[in-house]
């Protein structure tokens, strides 16, 4: 069995930057270091960060005053930044610049009185942060069906969660163009996401099975898996090599491998190695079966 890895897989620029900032902060060793929520959606990497002394908290109030608070690449709203300052925490802002751009656009459009529509997942922290920058006034839609329900309006601004598939964003824009006089369209999907999704889809169309590696709660990993399934190829999402099942590779000639933006290289390499081993194992078993039948 041949294993082909997607041309774009693994850590993106924003995640690499956040990890570098977090590790540099931990190395300073001058007081407690906190991260609000998991720095990245990958349990294996989170264990390494915990070993370096970075404590994950879910509320600013859990931090000891005087400590450092790392803001992850998803970013946060102004309310959380104000709460951190009030608690005398030093903020280490690892918000991805692509997310920062979406926050600024949402903030300035809302400040000038324009209704902001965010295409994305309402429950994702990145989207919640963007909405906070509009004073909670932005409307979140997941796709064109929800966009249909919005009222007709003279002016509106639309932007996207950075990890949205371009086709979904475009479909929402098409709906809004029918009902809004002046629609300001800001494509805030990050280049990495687009390139990763395109490369994954291209690969999915050429293989017999796809393995997508990434944290179970990683939105961008789940989206990659969904894209592969839409392409009609059997797709499995795993966090580590241990979850791979030999039955997935029965009769498979070419298997594809891709990974979400929060998956480190060492995990991708482990999965690739194990896929090759399992591929050989399955081929040997099939050979034995054929020989015994003959």
Query: In terms of Cα–Cα distance, which of 104, 118, 101 is closest to 156?
Result: 118
**Structure-token pair, residue 280:** 């050989």
Stretches 24-32, 92-100, 201-209, 282-290: which one binds ligand F3S (CB under 6 A)? 92-100
| Contact status: 193 vs ligand F3S (CB under 6 A) | yes
Total of chain residues touching ligand F3S, rule CB under 6 A: 15
Tell me the catalytic residues.
Answer: 126
Taking the C-alpha atoms of residue 279 and residue 245, their distance in angstroms, rounded to an integer, is: 10
Name the 3-class secondary structure at 195.
helix
Minimal distance in Å, beta carbon 192 to ligand F3S? 4
Alpha helices in 205-242 (DSSP H): 219-230
| Contact status: 261 vs ligand F3S (CB under 6 A) | yes
Single residue of 34, 98, 133, 169 touching ligand F3S by CB under 6 A = 98
Q: Going residue by residue from 217 to 236, which x/- string records binding to ligand F3S, judged by CB under 6 A?
A: ---x----------------
| Contact status: 34 vs ligand F3S (CB under 6 A) | no
Using left for φ > 0, alpha for ψ between -120 and 50, and beta otherwise, residue 67 falls in beta
Taking the C-alpha atoms of residue 120 and residue 145, their distance in angstroms, rounded to an integer, is: 13
150: Cβ contacts below 8 Å, ≥ 6 apart? 117, 139, 141, 156, 176, 179
- The residue written with tokens 């709660």 in the block is 217
Taking the C-alpha atoms of residue 99 and residue 229, their distance in angstroms, rounded to an integer, is: 27
| Contact status: 99 vs ligand F3S (CB under 6 A) | yes
| Contact status: 15 vs ligand F3S (CB under 6 A) | yes
Nearer to ligand F3S, 73 or 114 (CB): 73
Residues 32 and 291 sit within 8 Å (Cβ to Cβ): no
Nearer to ligand F3S, 15 or 255 (CB): 15
Nearer to ligand F3S, 103 or 162 (CB): 162
Minimal distance in Å, beta carbon 248 to ligand F3S? 27
| Contact status: 14 vs ligand F3S (CB under 6 A) | yes
Nearer to ligand F3S, 224 or 228 (CB): 224
Name the 3-class secondary structure at 23.
helix
- The residue written with tokens 């800001």 in the block is 186
| Contact status: 118 vs ligand F3S (CB under 6 A) | no
Nearer to ligand F3S, 117 or 190 (CB): 190
Taking the C-alpha atoms of residue 9 and residue 116, their distance in angstroms, rounded to an integer, is: 32
| Contact status: 186 vs ligand F3S (CB under 6 A) | no
Minimal distance in Å, beta carbon 258 to ligand F3S? 14
The DSSP bridge pattern shows strands 139-141 and 209-213 to be: unpaired
Residues in contact with ligand F3S by the rule CB under 6 A? 12-15, 73, 96, 98-99, 162-163, 190, 192-193, 220, 261
């Amino acid at each position: 069995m041949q294993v082909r890895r997607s041309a774009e897989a693994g850590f993106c620029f924003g995640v690499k930057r956040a990890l570098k900032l977090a590790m540099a902060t931990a190395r300073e060793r001058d007081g407690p270091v906190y991260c609000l929520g998991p720095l990245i959606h990958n349990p294996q990497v989170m264990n390494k960060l915990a070993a370096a002394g970075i404590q994950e908290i879910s509320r600013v109030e859990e931090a000891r005053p005087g400590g450092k608070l790392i803001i992850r690449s998803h970013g946060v709203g102004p309310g959380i930044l104000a709460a951190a300052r009030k608690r005398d925490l030093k903020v280490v802002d690892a918000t991805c610049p692509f997310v920062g751009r979406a926050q600024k656009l949402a903030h300035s459009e809302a400040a000038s009185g324009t209704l902001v529509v965010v295409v994305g997942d309402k429950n994702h922290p990145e989207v919640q942060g963007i909405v906070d920058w509009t004073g909670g006034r932005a409307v979140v839609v997941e796709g064109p069906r929800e966009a249909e329900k919005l009222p007709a309006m003279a002016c509106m601004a639309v932007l996207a969660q950075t990890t949205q598939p371009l086709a979904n964003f475009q479909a929402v824009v098409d709906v809004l163009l029918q009902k809004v006089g002046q629609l300001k369209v800001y494509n805030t999907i990050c280049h990495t996401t687009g390139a990763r999704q395109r490369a994954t889809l291209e690969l999915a169309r050429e293989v017999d099975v796809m393995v997508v590696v990434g944290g179970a709660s990683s939105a961008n990993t789940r989206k990659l898996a969904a894209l592969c399934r839409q392409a009609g190829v059997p797709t499995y999402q795993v966090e580590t090599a241990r979850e791979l099942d030999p039955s997935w590779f029965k009769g498979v000639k070419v298997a594809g491998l891709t990974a979400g933006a929060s998956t480190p290289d060492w995990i991708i390499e482990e999965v690739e190695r194990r896929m090759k081993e399992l591929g050989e194992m399955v081929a040997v078993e099939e050979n034995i079966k054929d020989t015994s039948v003959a």
